[in-house]
Amino acid sequence: RKPFRVHHLAAAKDAGRPLTMLTAYDAPTARIFDDAGVDMLLVGDSMGDNMLAHANTIPVTVDEMIPAVRAVSRAARHALVVADLPFGSYEDSPQHAFATAVRMLKEGGAHAVKLEGGRRVAAHVKLLTDSGIPVIGHLGFTPQSENIFGGKRVQGRGDEAAEALCEDALALAEAGASAVVLEMVPAPVAARATEILAIPTIGIGAGAEVDGQVLVWLDMAGMGDWSPRFAKQFGQVGAALRAAAASYVDEVRSGAFPQAEHSYES
Ligand code: KIV
Ligand code: NA
């Protein structure tokens, strides 16, 4: 298998081959997902809520994310590693975005970065891509703006909002973005954006008429105790892990573990 790299994104769209992306925040999961054939591993700022037990993505810092990016980059053999720029690390200027993105590549080993927003970050995207840093955009429900939206709510409903979303997507593509994530967008709006863009769209809660899908791995694998409507559970990893831990506790307490086969002779 050849490594999946940025130039394969547009090629996949042209060939009609659906793209696959999963989040990963550490080496063991990155290794498993890479082996499973996932095209892209996203070290998302969803690390804040999913791994660090914050209420949402807002509090996670660049310094917290870098070791996760480094672990995923070391473990990935084929997948493209994408690092999110977390809240507060890029919005105020293209230069700030550049400085943070450079850390994600130089210290983290990421191949690309992802940031949220449309026209308001077009200049950021242009500086990064002009500087050799591939960028993936993120539109629709953008979790870093959760406090403006007033919660996790579908975005792009209604003609005006749908038109604005398409304008934002076109601006990102024009600025040099390699792909755009569309999160919690009505399926017909995501389909329209997918049709008008030459770069791929990667949906999460955006229906089937997009160029690829992304999920938070804990939602995908049934690892968490809750998952959103758009996240199908493809496994029950949380239940399997709980059962394994409970068996371990039982066997240590009963004396069933360890046996001679687990012990060393003198
Ligand atoms: O941080 C994240 O996990 C994301 C995906 C849900 C797209 O941005
Ligand atoms: Na994110």
Give the distance (Å) from ligand 1 centre to CA of residue 45.
Answer: 7
What average pLDDT is seen over the chain? 97
Ligand 1 pocket test, pick from 52, 114, 146, 217 with the greatest ligand atom count within 8 Å of Cβ, gives 114
pLDDT digits (tens, 9 = 90+) for 77-114: 999 999 999 999 999 999 999 999 999 999 999 999 99
What is the value of ipTM here, to two decimals?
0.99
Protein residue closest via CA to atom 8 of ligand 1: 44
DSSP per residue over 21-80, as a string? Answer: EEE--SHHHHHHHHHTT-SEEEE-TTHHHHTT--SSSTT--HHHHHHHHHHHHHH-SSSE
Segment 68-85 shows an average pLDDT of 98
**Choice from 216, 220, 223 to test ligand 1 binding pocket (greatest atom count within 8 A of CB):** 216
Residue 64 among the catalytic residues: no
Handedness of CA 117, 38, 203, 170 (dihedral sign): positive
pLDDT at residue 224 tops 90: no
Consecutive H or E run containing 135? strand 135-140
Q: From residue 134, how far is each of 5, 69, 80, 125, 212 by CA, in Å?
A: 10, 16, 11, 9, 18
Would the annotation count 46 as a binding residue? yes
Q: Which residue segments constitute the domains of the chain, with CATH numbers given? A: 7-235 (3.20.20.60), 237-266 (no CATH)
Q: Residue 250, annotated ligand binder?
A: no
| 47 CA from centroid of ligand 2 (Å) | 8
pLDDT at 227 over 90: no
Cα 147 to averaged position of ligand 1 atoms, centre (Å)? 17
pLDDT at res. 226: 80
Centre of ligand 1 from the C-alpha of residue 263, in Å:
44
Which ligand is nearest to the Cα of residue 181, counting in written order? 1
| C-beta of 213 in contact with ligand 1 (< 6 A) | no
Q: Is the pLDDT of residue 225 over 80?
A: no
**Residue 225 assigned ligand-binding role:** no
In this prediction, residues 40-67 reach a mean pLDDT of 97
pTM of the predicted model as reported, rounded to 2 decimal places? 0.98
Instruction: Say how far apart CA 73 and CA 82 lie, in whole Å.
Output: 9
Ligand 1 atom 2: residue of nearest CA: 44
- Mean pLDDT to the nearest integer, 131-139: 98
* CA 214 to ligand 1: nearest atom: 7
d(CA 202, CA 212): 4
